[in-house]
């Protein structure tokens, strides 16, 4: 006499394994692997996106720390391990479309504001989420300052700090979502 559940058991070729429920094995084997792979892929993509955001690389909207007005969109790129930032778009209401950096005193003098290189250099400090050693240009007065760049708020904002001797000024820029 056979037991009704005996037909659900499958004998393994390995005598040490014993009998396993055949229905359970086939029902969960493929779907659990697929589900785990999908979950792992989502986790990797999500964590990669979060890590990619904790960098100054990207497009940022600069905000005047005195008036709160959006001034420009700046695209920061990594060029050979050093930061390079250029004005992509001028956002001030009173900005002239053909404005140039008349206050600049170096190779940028007379160059159009759109495309103007305002961030030069800066590398990630070891063990910290801050990029140091670069310079930033204020095109309104032509002065260049030592600078540091620190992503904050999960990479949604960037603290841009310009130094002149022992003094500094910090602006908080907002990441432009692509």
Could you read off the pLDDT of 150-169 as tens digits, one per residue? 999 999 999 999 999 999 99
- Tell me the CA end-to-end span of the chain in Å, nearest whole number: 70
- What is the pLDDT, as a whole number, of residue 65? 78
Question: Dmax over Cα atoms in the chain, in whole Å?
Answer: 100
Question: What does the alpha-carbon distance between residue 163 and residue 93 come to, in Å, rounded to a whole number?
Answer: 28
Tell me the per-residue pLDDT of 125-155, one tens digit each, with 9 for 90 and over: 999 999 999 999 999 999 999 999 999 999 9
Predicted model pTM: 0.70
- What is the pLDDT, as a whole number, of residue 83? 98
Question: What does the alpha-carbon distance between residue 166 and residue 123 come to, in Å, rounded to a whole number?
Answer: 21
Domain ranges of the chain: 4-53, 58-175
CATH number assigned to the domain covering 58-175: 2.40.128.520
pLDDT at 25 over 60: no
């Amino acid at each position: 006499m056979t037991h009704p559940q005996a037909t659900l058991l499958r004998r393994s070729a390995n005598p040490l394994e014993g009998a396993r429920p055949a229905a359970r094995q086939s029902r969960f084997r493929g779907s659990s692997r697929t589900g785990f792979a999908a979950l792992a892929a989502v986790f990797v993509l999500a964590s990669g996106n979060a890590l990619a955001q904790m960098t100054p690389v990207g497009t940022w909207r600069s905000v005047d720390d005195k008036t709160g007005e959006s001034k420009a969109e700046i695209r920061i790129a990594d060029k050979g391990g050093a930061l390079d930032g250029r004005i992509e778009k001028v956002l001030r209401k009173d900005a002239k479309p053909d404005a140039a950096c008349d206050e600049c005193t170096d190779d940028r003098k007379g160059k159009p504001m759109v495309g103007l290189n305002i961030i030069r250099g800066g590398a990630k400090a070891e063990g910290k989420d801050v990029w140091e050693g670069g310079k930033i240009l204020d095109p309104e007065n032509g002065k260049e300052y030592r600078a540091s760049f620190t992503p904050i708020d999960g990479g949604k904002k960037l603290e841009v700090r310009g130094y002149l001797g022992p003094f500094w000024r910090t602006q908080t820029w907002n990441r432009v979502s692509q």
